[in-house]
């Protein structure tokens, strides 16, 4: 396998595009799995392009957001003599939105809004950092197995946009042409609203299964983005109520307005409407539309002049905000005129908190009455279906509840048993499950402190505390938690923690009497440090005499004192009965090289003891330095001594 950057071991290819290939890789320094995106060699030959690519990649690496695929590193590597830029990214396992729609079919408007909400959060964070994505498309929106949404390739497309070869690279353009804003298609500068246009195209495809514009070539598609109006997405979605149709059309077609000034101006603004759409509430885009009743065909007209570099400005045909539903006849269109007027009147009178359903209940209602049925506890879909079969208009609100499952009806207003005219409005309050809260970061807290923090957030500490060693977190403090800090979970949930027991502990082994080299090697393998203290001893040089804390448990990295023999002592035998010469030879054989000093002369009646050692200092079994003095007391027999004197 190939190693790039002296760090990243490339594995199998996991994706390819018009301008790059993506590989799974291993970061050999940190031991983690990453994804490496490498520019194709033909694109990398352009030095200016490489520089733009590098600059944008470095900018993207500055982004830090939970819904943005993290960029860890950038670099260049030699491929066939060409310096090829690469980007090291977070490895995300899951499916992209394109695969989800292709394999599972189109999403409901509510599900699409729910999935794309995190995308707007990611875009807003990017825009706040001054980075425009420029290539928002389903393939760049990943959904993990746990439901997390991640957006990738922030800012990378600018290098392609700036490249003089961009529009000649068909393979590079075709992947983005279906989501290209009109200003980008005409070579104008992109801004944050260009990303919003692209996200509108993505949502269009998510709910219908097809992009808003299709053509045989990328250029044909780009032309449609500039000159043609998309068919209202609601015409491609079966079984939508009029309310749902107006809502989904308003959100998508506002995002896809030809003129940037007529779109959502920020991703955060679009996020607010997606949240309303997700909950089945009236969106601001729908309200803004019905505030113009003079447009009976749901048209939002403006003049937008695109100035071509080689021609004078020319008028572009008016853009429809919402096209006619193809299955509506003249009478239904007339009814929509009435609806628009009524909604406009409600808004003018300050009725800000209203629902389209309420006004529709007025249009065409009859005097026939129905009884509100019991729907509390039923699933939302079942309750709505039952009420609509009775001719009632239904508004759905959500509210958290600690016990009732998400999607089940909590209450109905008017209450069950009430008599209402057909066409009247009823409001269902549906459980959104337990209220969501952010999990606090518990790292470095004691379990008691963590329990208090969790209580403030409406959460509980799991009593089953896990324990593990840590080289960085002190004993008794929390080293990890599940879910992680910053995660959103339902109130009342439990958070599990692992408490540090300090550094890993090891038992100091008993190795007295062994050679110092062997002892030091063993201690090093256990993660222990050693310090050597040489002491006078008659034991062989290098023999370990004592080990501090032997047999006890200590933390890794603890320094253990080893007392080691320097071999400079000898243990004295009993020299009594030997002559000085004999004793000296015995001691020399033991490695002693000091002086043998004569001490006292002691009289003895035994002539055989004459001139032998009566005793010595130090005494038997005592230790003396090899260069130390030994004093000996000798026996003296006067008779023998006298004879020796005569013989001399």
Burial of 415 (0-12, 13-18, 19+ CB in 10 A): exposed
Q: 3-state class of 428 per DSSP?
A: strand
24 CB contacts (<8 Å, ≥6 apart)?
Answer: 11, 12, 14, 33, 34, 35, 36, 91
Alpha-carbon span 61 to 77, nearest angstrom: 19
Angle at CA of residue 182, ends 177 and 186, nearest 5°: 90
Q: Which two tokens stand for residue 153?
A: 């390739």
Catalytic residue among 27, 135, 153, 249: 135
Alpha-carbon span 614 to 629, nearest angstrom: 17
Annotated binding-site ranges for ATP: 37
The helix/strand count (H/E) of the chain reads as 19, 32
Cis amide leading into 618 (omega within 30): yes
Name which of 89, 92, 91 is nearest 70 in CA terms.
Answer: 89
Burial of 424 (0-12, 13-18, 19+ CB in 10 A): buried
Q: Which two tokens stand for residue 112?
A: 């699409």
Q: Is 633 a catalytic residue?
A: no
Alpha-carbon span 390 to 114, nearest angstrom: 30
67 CB contacts (<8 Å, ≥6 apart)?
Answer: 118, 119, 121, 122, 125, 148, 149, 150, 151
Q: 3-state class of 112 per DSSP?
A: helix
Alpha-carbon span 623 to 572, nearest angstrom: 6
Q: Which two tokens stand for residue 181?
A: 């804003």
Alpha-carbon span 439 to 480, nearest angstrom: 13
Annotated binding-site ranges: 37
Cis amide leading into 249 (omega within 30): no
Active-site residues, by number, are 135
């Amino acid at each position: 396998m190939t190693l790039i950057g002296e760090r990243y071991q490339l594995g199998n290819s996991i994706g390819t595009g018009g301008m790059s290939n993506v590989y799974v890789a291993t970061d050999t320094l940190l031991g983690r799995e990453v994804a490496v995106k490498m520019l194709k060699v033909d694109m990398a030959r352009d030095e200016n392009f490489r520089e733009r690519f590098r600059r944008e990649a470095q900018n993207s690496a500055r982004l830090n957001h939970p819904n943005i695929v993290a960029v860890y590193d950038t670099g260049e590597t030699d491929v066939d003599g060409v310096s090829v830029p690469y980007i090291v990214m977070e490895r995300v396992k899951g499916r992209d939105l394109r695969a989800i729609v292709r394999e599972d079919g189109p999403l409901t408007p509510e599900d699409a809004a729910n999935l794309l909400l995190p995308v707007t959060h990611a875009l807003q964070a990017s825009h706040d950092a001054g980075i425009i994505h420029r290539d928002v498309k389903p393939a760049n929106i990943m959904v993990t197995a746990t439901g997390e949404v991640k957006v990738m390739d922030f800012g990378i497309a600018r290098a392609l946009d700036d490249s003089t070869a961009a529009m000649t690279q068909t393979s590079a353009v075709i992947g983005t042409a279906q989501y290209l804003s009109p200003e980008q298609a005409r070579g104008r500068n992109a801004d944050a609203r260009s990303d919003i246009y692209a996200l509108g195209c993505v949502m269009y495809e998510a709910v219908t299964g097809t992009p808003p514009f299709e053509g045989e070539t990328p250029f044909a598609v780009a032309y449609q983005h500039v000159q043609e109006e998309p068919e209202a997405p609601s015409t491609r979605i079966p079984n939508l109520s009029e309310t749902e149709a107006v809502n989904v059309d308003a959100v998508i077609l506002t995002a896809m307005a030809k003129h940037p000034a007529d779109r959502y101006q920020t991703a955060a603004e679009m996020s607010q409407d997606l949240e309303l759409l997700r909950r089945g509430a009236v969106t601001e885009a729908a309200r803004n539309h019905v505030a113009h009743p003079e447009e009976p065909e749901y048209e939002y007209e403006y003049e937008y002049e695109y100035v071509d570099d080689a021609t004078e400005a020319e008028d572009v045909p008016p853009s429809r905000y919402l096209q006619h539903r193809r299955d509506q006849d003249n009478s239904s269109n007339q009814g929509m005129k009435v609806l628009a007027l009524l909604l406009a009147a409600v808004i003018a009178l300050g009725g800000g908190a209203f629902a389209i359903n309420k006004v529709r209940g007025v249009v065409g209602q009859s005097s026939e009455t129905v009884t509100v049925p019991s729907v509390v506890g039923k699933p939302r879909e079942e309750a709505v279906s039952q009420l609509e079969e009775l001719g009632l208009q239904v508004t759905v609100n959500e509210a958290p509840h600690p016990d009732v499952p998400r999607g089940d009806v909590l209450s109905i207003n008017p209450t069950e048993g009430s008599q209402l005219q057909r066409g009247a409005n009823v409001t269902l309050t549906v459980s959104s499950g337990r209220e969501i809260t952010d999990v606090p970061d518990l790292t470095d807290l004691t379990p008691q402190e963590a329990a208090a923090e969790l209580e403030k957030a409406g959460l509980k500490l799991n009593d089953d505390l896990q324990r593990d060693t840590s080289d960085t977190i002190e004993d008794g403090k929390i080293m990890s938690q599940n879910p992680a800090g910053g995660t959103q979970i339902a109130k009342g949930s439990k958070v599990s923690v692992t408490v540090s027991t300090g550094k890993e502990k090891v038992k100091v082994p008993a190795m007295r009497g062994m050679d110092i080299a062997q002892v030091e090697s063993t201690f090093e393998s256990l993660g222990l440090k050693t310090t050597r203290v040489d002491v006078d001893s008659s034991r062989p040089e290098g023999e370990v005499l004592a080990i501090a804390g032997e047999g006890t448990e200590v933390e890794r990295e603890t320094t253990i004192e080893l007392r080691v023999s320097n071999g400079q002592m000898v243990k004295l035998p009993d020299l009594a009965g030997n002559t000085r010469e004999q004793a000296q030879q015995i001691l020399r054989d033991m490695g002693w090289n000091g002086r043998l000093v004569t001490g006292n002369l002691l009289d003895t009646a035994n002539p055989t003891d004459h001139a032998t050692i009566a005793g010595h200092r130090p005494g038997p079994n005592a230790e003396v330095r090899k260069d130390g003095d030994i004093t000996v007391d000798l026996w003296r027999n006067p008779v023998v001594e006298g004879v020796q004197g005569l013989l001399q």
